[in-house]
Amino acid sequence: MGEHLSKIETELRKSLAYLTGDDNLMTADANVPFRELGIDSMMAIEIMAAMEKKFNIELQETDVVKFKSIKNTVAILAGYLK
């Protein structure tokens, strides 16, 4: 994984752990669906807002429904940070 993607993943994991209060998300399998990690649609909206602020980007409202896992979300965010 490139340094760029690694930074995105680290920041995403920090936000997930903070928003859920679950530090295990710092090391959770990146392919596990968010719903299995206890992350619901309202949390996904909070994650979207946190990532917009952290990376100074503006995601599309439709992106939030595409957030399915850590790996998937990192790929979406990377597309905005090219």
Instruction: Convert the pLDDT of each residue in 1-35 to its tens digit.
Output: 577 899 999 999 999 999 999 999 999 999 999 99
**Across the strands, what pairs with 69?**
33
pTM: 0.91
**Which pLDDT score is estimated for 33?**
96
Q: What is the pLDDT of residues 50-78, one digit of tens each?
A: 999 999 999 998 998 999 999 999 999 99
Asked whether 52 and 59 are in contact (CB, 8 A), the reply is yes
Q: Which domains does the chain have, with CATH numbers?
A: 3-80 (1.10.1200.10)
**Which pLDDT score is estimated for 7?**
94
**Which pLDDT score is estimated for 1?**
52
